Amino acid sequence: MPLTNAQARDLAAVVHPYTPLHKLREVGPLVMGHGKGIYVYDTQGKEYIEGMAGLWCTGLGFGNEELVDAATEQMRKLPYYHLFGGKGMEPAVELAEKLKEIAPCPVDKVLYCSSGSEANDTQIKLAWYYNNARGKPEKKKIISRVKAYHGVTVMSASLTGLPNNHRDFDLPVASVRHTDCPQYYRFATEGESEAEFVARLAANLRSMIETEGPETIAAMIAEPVMGAGGVIIPPEGYFAAIQPILEEHDIMLIDDEVICGFGRTGNWFGATTLGMKPHTVSVAKQMTSAYAPLGALLLPAFITDMLEQQSAKIGTFGHGFTYGGHPLGCAIAVKTLEIYQRMDIVGHVRRIAPLFEKRIKALADHPLVGNVRSVGLVGGAELVADKATKRSFEPAKTVGAIVARYGEAHGVIVRAIGDTIAFCPPMIITEPEIDEMFDRVEKALADGEAHVAREDLRTAA
């Protein structure tokens, strides 16, 4: 099929992140024109259910007029200002107050940035700063996990535990360590119960800490649910098992809520859902329903007190972003949280999650699907070459991407994370819309299975 004008112009001018760029000219980019509710429409007018809420982020869907009005009002009133040098703005203050009210742990103050990557990058800077301030300059290593995703800056990409985020970027940096991924389906040994799996991972974490030296480790960072690693939900008791080990060795726990925050898992924050008790929190994405870029760190008093003490020592707090606390983003976030509270987004997610779970569990019967998992309104279906042995398809065969493309043909956008098909629809989705989304996905899986059989993709090289 010939490229449209929009596709041709896109190919000539734009670099696409997380895309097999060498293949893009073959298929062409999918260029969107507009959106409404859970639907987006390409420049040719074709409708798609946005089954990933963009990038895990448009919690209120597309075309929310209250957010448009809040943005317009703020743009007219004060389109830009900053927080440097003691300046302030009402939207930044109001949003910080709201975040403190709903946070999953004690929060003293909020530090703004522009994205989740920036938030997690700053978390590490503050962990280092904190340990320098308290006379422990050797306490600088950071523990992350295999298959974690924490961003794409030099440090946040180092925290990310995915090989393609490291290869040929000269990452990870030397101070980062990766402990076990808590995915029972993939990493449990034969006959090992979930409780035994959790105990083994906790023992391995303890061993890593003792081998590295607890006096050299500043923090561990973790997502409650590991989104971009394949929607990995840790077994029950995982955080309860590892947190005492961290506390015993004076290691902070940083909660990356960039995907899980603001109702996605059936609580305001994923930490509550998964039994996690963090010291600091990173937020972004659904905070503004993605209508403007904004990120933030929710900081406890022991960190903010240290920042003030270091300011007295150094003369200033030498960190900040031009757009951190941008009035447009903050105004939209204030309105977003107001809407979430008014519509009881947490209650809504809890009410419709059983149907979401039922439909995703039904996918497990499909010949391509080896494992399914979900919590709240986020889930994944892992495709395998052999269900009995859990053998994966060879990565070069890109079976997940093939199924995702068939999904687009049937009018649904999901994300292929390797061979895991991820689901994360706007949280405003209704029960009939959940059924329609999965009906379209089932058609894509049927086409994918036919493609796999036709091309003999199950055969190992």
> Does 310 share its domain with 387?
no
> Does 104 share its domain with 223?
yes
Determine phi and psi for 173, rounding to 5 degrees: -70, 165
Amino acid letter, residue 432: P
Rounded percentage of the chain residues whose pLDDT exceeds 70: 100
Cα 280 to Cα 116, 200, 234, 355: the distances in Å are: 14, 26, 20, 33
Helix then strand count (H, E) for the chain reads 16, 15
> Does 295 share its domain with 386?
no
Q: Model confidence over 262-282: pLDDT tens digits?
A: 999 999 999 999 999 999 999
Of 342, 367, 401, which residue constitutes the final position of a domain? 342
Asked if the structure places residue 25 within a domain, the reply is: no
> Does 178 share its domain with 204?
yes
CATH number assigned to the domain comprising residue 146: 3.40.640.10
Q: Model confidence over 156-183: pLDDT tens digits?
A: 999 999 999 999 999 999 999 999 999 9
> Does 337 share its domain with 370?
no
Pick from 224, 219, 207, 214: nearest CA to 248 = 214
> Does 337 share its domain with 348?
no
> Does 362 share its domain with 316?
no
> Does 103 share its domain with 230?
yes
Across the range 11-39, mean pLDDT stands at: 93
Asked if the structure places residue 42 within a domain, the reply is: yes
- The residue range of the domain holding 429 is 31-63+344-455
Asked if the structure places residue 259 within a domain, the reply is: yes
Asked if the structure places residue 13 within a domain, the reply is: no
Q: Is the pLDDT of residue 28 over 70?
A: yes
- CA dihedral sign, ordered 233, 236, 241, 247: positive
The continuous run of DSSP H or E covering 378 comes out as strand 378-383
Contact predicate 221/144, CB 8 Å:
yes
CATH number assigned to the domain comprising residue 427: 3.90.1150.10
Stated pTM of the model: 0.96
> Does 81 share its domain with 56?
no
Across the range 10-22, mean pLDDT stands at: 93
> Does 372 share its domain with 297?
no
Asked if the structure places residue 19 within a domain, the reply is: no
Asked if the structure places residue 83 within a domain, the reply is: yes
**Average pLDDT in the chain:** 97
Q: Is the pLDDT of residue 384 over 90?
A: yes
Residue 82 tokens read as 């900053």
**Cα–Cα distance for residue pair 157/224, rounded to 1 Å:** 18
Q: What is the pLDDT of residue 461?
A: 67
Of 322, 342, 362, which residue constitutes the final position of a domain? 342
> Does 283 share its domain with 312?
yes
Contact predicate 28/391, CB 8 Å:
no
Q: What is the pLDDT of residue 164?
A: 94
Q: Model confidence over 46-80: pLDDT tens digits?
A: 999 999 999 999 999 999 999 999 999 999 999 99
> Does 46 share its domain with 151?
no
Of 342, 377, 406, which residue constitutes the final position of a domain? 342
Would strands 252-256 and 39-42 be described as parallel, antiparallel, or unpaired?
Answer: unpaired
Asked if the structure places residue 394 within a domain, the reply is: yes
Number of domain units in the chain? 2
**Cα–Cα distance for residue pair 341/432, rounded to 1 Å:** 23
Asked if the structure places residue 2 within a domain, the reply is: no
Q: What is the pLDDT of residue 460?
A: 80
